[in-house]
Amino acid sequence: MKVLMIEDDAQIVDSVAWAFRMRWPDVEFTSTDSGERGASLAKETRPDLVILDLGLPDIPGFEVLKNIRQFSTMPIIILTARKDEFDIVKALEAGADDYLVKPFRQMELLSRIKALLRRSASPAPESTMSVGELKLSPATGVLHYQNKEIPLTRTEEIIVSKLMQSAGGVVTYTALAEALWNDYYPDCVAALRVYIRQLRQKIEADVDNPKVILNKHGVGYMLANSARPTE
């Protein structure tokens, strides 16, 4: 497997490279501190995964992300010092598959990478799911709601399917984290909050006053009564 890291902090690159050597020695690890060079390498070498920093010395990481998405759907995980939710949502909307905020734990990064690769490689179920006005087509990654076709990322699709499977009840943070990353880690609730907001931007008429995906404070998320099956 090939991994490309686009990062200008040499210490971080060395730390990640060491983690791969110790825990995942078969990985072919390549790095560059240039955003332009990173985009070129991604196109030339077609890695199985890209680890991308947002703050690069030549061009913004957002531009690198958009550049790669023009020619590939390869998994991309953002590794950034930016904690602002706006930047994270912007990266996800631009096509990132996951993100991790610095400082980070090496084993958490590898765990997130393995989960991301597993999600990307796993074929989506072919059967269509229907709950109330929601209709999910896993084969195409499209959610139908109120006569709209809403394309979902693989991560969004997993979240929506978990909510639909548990229509009428709350899906806990732990259950969602295990479905996405096969683990519950300290910052998972913050990460889930970003993904849910991104989903709401696609589904809800008013993101700040959601009517479809509701939050059960301190527990998890659930579908509103209007989105559940009628008896």
- Residues 6 or more apart whose CB falls under 8 angstroms from that of 179 comprise 158, 159, 162
Task: Beginning with the edge strand found earlier in the chain, give each strand of the sheet holding 28-32 in spatial order.
Answer: 28-32, 2-6, 49-52, 76-80, 98-101
Q: State the CATH architecture for 2-121.
A: 3-Layer(aba) Sandwich (3.40)
Alpha-carbon distance of 60 to 43, in angstroms, equals 18
> Which of the pair, 87 or 72, is modelled with greater confidence?
72
154 pLDDT higher than 90: no
Kindly give the interhelix angle for 10-23 and 106-121, rounded to the nearest 10 degrees: 70
| pLDDT tens track for 164-200 | 988 889 999 999 988 887 777 766 787 888 889 889 9
Nearest one of 141, 138, 142, 144 to 126, comparing CA atoms:
138
Domain range summary for the chain, segments of one domain joined by +? 2-121, 129-227
**129-227 belongs to which CATH class?**
mainly alpha
Q: Identify the pLDDT of residue 231.
A: 43
pTM to 2 decimal places? 0.71
Consecutive H or E run containing 222: strand 220-223
CA of residue 138 relative to chain centroid, distance: 17
Average pLDDT score over residue span 103-123: 80
Q: Identify the pLDDT of residue 29.
A: 96
101 pLDDT higher than 80: yes
Alpha-carbon distance of 131 to 62, in angstroms, equals 36
